Amino acid sequence: MAVLTRYSNPELLKLPDCGGLLENGKCRWLNVQKCSGVKCSYYQRPSSLEKAQERLRSLDEATQERIAQKYYGGTRPWAGTGAKTWR
């Protein structure tokens, strides 16, 4: 018997790209019968890196500089164009 995955079942393709959505269409965090989509209070974007970078950009300059010096060797990979990028 073949196992259905998110990418082989057309109904599962309609579900949002959530960090808690498992390959079989069930939720990793909640015990629910059906995914409620982006209106779910537990919905998360799959990229936590993107979320972390948004948070870092929202900090004041002094705090960003301190974090960049301590963890990224003085670069700010979360900054937009024109800034030093992390390689």
Task: Indicate the domain borders of the chain.
Answer: 1-46, 47-87
CA distances from 13 to 45, 46, 47 (A): 16, 15, 18
Top-ranked range on mean pLDDT: pick from 31-35, 39-43, 65-69, 76-80? 65-69
pTM for the whole structure: 0.43
Evaluated on CA atoms 43, 64, 70, 68, the torsion sign reads positive
**Helix axis angle, 48-57 to 61-71, nearest 10°:** 130
Give the pLDDT of residue 46: 63
7 burial via Cβ count (<10 Å: 0-12, 13-18, 19+): exposed
